Amino acid sequence: MGNIVAIVGRPNVGKSTFFNRLIQRREAIIDSVSGVTRDRHYGKSDWNGKRFSLIDTGGYVKGSDDIFEAEIDKQVELAIEEADAIIFIVDVETGVTSMDEEVANLLRRVNKPVLLAVNKVDNNKRLANAVEFYSLGLGEYFPIASTNGSGTGDLLDALIEALPEIEEEEESELPRFAVVGRPNAGKSSFINALIGEDRYIVTDIAGTTRDSIDTRYNRFGFEFNLVDTAGIRRKSKVKENLEFYSVMRSVRAIENCDVCLVVLDATRGFDGQVQNIFWLAQRNHKGVVILVNKWDLVDKETNTMKEYEAMIRREIEPFTDVPIVFISVLTKQRVFKAIETAVKVFENRSKKIKTREFNDVMLPIIERNPPPAYKGKFVKIKFCMQLPTPHPQFAFFCNLPQYVRDPYKRFLENKLRQEFDFQGVPISIFFRKK
């Protein structure tokens, strides 16, 4: 669990280039699944061994400058509210604009670290011109050129210095379930239906994160912490009109849990925003349960449960081994089943398979279906094991790891899922040289 850093600034100052520059080293390693994330506005980065999540608040606003005028305030406010530190990017070519001044006005009132980065400083003349940004009243600025990376090192040094220390939370043995989804999908009602008006709660621990409350839940023989993003205080000014908001609000909760209960409104379908939240959970290697709420409102002639489920599975390929539970929070239908499923997914995610048993099952399968020859070379897999990580990762040792293609990885993953129950859990498979 790291800090969250937001990048703000008006359009075309080079936020995305800067963002991509910071996450590329890592993303290339983490995100080998192509096309998994539809958006590129969230990523992880690290500098000098300190990890943080990076959120690019731009890029969500399509349209003209005046639409942007209204939006930029919202984005900056959201960044101020959600992030631990803010990088404000301006452009030396255009100099200080009225919009920059407006953003600076908002940022001056914040008691969080704000770093001012003057972008596109790639020669001495521009370095001299950057002085005018002192007028924004944000103190020191960092001249950078995000295209070639000059100056970003100093900026990141200062960022790491400024980030608040995160107190390591006492690791409770209890599973943590986060209830996430877009606004009005029924997250709060789901939690109320679970807890019941009598609130069988042992304790209300105010979460260390400012916004999600951990509720200790003990009922039906299950005990776990509920990380509730539903109760996040909404600023009336921040209208939930951009996909970005609910995704950004979910980031912390998702990074901070073991299993995500993704609640969606059956009448609205599995739309882009829900998909973003789903892939966010998948990329963070969290367990996932999809809860289709308001099933009682769906016209059953046209939509059978089977068809609906098939539709969702098409959208979440290739990670289709995910439990989907149809619930109605109103009638409390299958609410208990939802929790039962989440507990099962939690157990799957923490499952450890003995190396011997794993080899006994997987090696015969590999022998029957060896990796196809590549460039005339044959890959021989001799040994495999589960790695000692918090979520399931497996290493297969072979003579030519570089020749194993993606389809074969998927084949192995499917077999592995058939033989061992990993429903609801993303799996990583690595090929290593023996």
Tokens matching residue 71: 């939006």
98 is in an annotated binding site: no
183 is in an annotated binding site: yes
Instruction: Say how far apart CA 342 and CA 358 lie, in whole Å.
Output: 25
What residues form DSSP beta bridges with 86?
A: 6, 114
187 is in an annotated binding site: yes
Residue pair 88/103 in contact by the 8 Å Cβ criterion: yes
374 is in an annotated binding site: no
182 is in an annotated binding site: yes
122 is in an annotated binding site: yes
189 is in an annotated binding site: no
121 is in an annotated binding site: yes
230 is in an annotated binding site: yes
269 is in an annotated binding site: no
120 is in an annotated binding site: yes
> Which residues touch 89 (CB under 8 Å, ≥6 apart)?
7, 8, 9, 13, 14, 15, 18, 117, 119, 146
13 is in an annotated binding site: yes
292 is in an annotated binding site: no
> Which helix H or strand E contains 72, and what residues bound it?
helix 65-82
185 is in an annotated binding site: yes
184 is in an annotated binding site: yes
> Which helix H or strand E contains 324, and what residues bound it?
strand 324-326
296 is in an annotated binding site: yes
Helix axis angle, 243-255 to 65-82, nearest 10°: 20
Residue 41 is given by DSSP the state S
295 is in an annotated binding site: yes
DSSP alpha helix (H) spans, 304-429: 305-315, 335-349, 355-368, 406-419
Tokens matching residue 306: 């089977």
Instruction: Say how far apart CA 71 and CA 234 lie, in whole Å.
Output: 16
Tokens matching residue 222: 């299950």
139 is in an annotated binding site: no
11 is in an annotated binding site: yes
58 is in an annotated binding site: yes
Neighbours of 340 (CB within 10 A): 17
60 is in an annotated binding site: yes
Neighbours of 86 (CB within 10 A): 26
229 is in an annotated binding site: yes
Residue 134 is given by DSSP the state G
59 is in an annotated binding site: yes
Residue 83 Ramachandran class (φ > 0 left, ψ -120 to 50 alpha, else beta): beta
Tokens matching residue 333: 């239908």
14 is in an annotated binding site: yes
Residue with tokens 């997914």, as numbered in its chain: 345
Q: Count Cα atoms within 13 angstroms, Cβ side, for 189.
A: 17
Annotation: binding site for GTP? 9-16, 56-60, 119-122, 181-188, 228-232, 293-296
Annotation: binding site? 9-16, 56-60, 119-122, 181-188, 228-232, 293-296
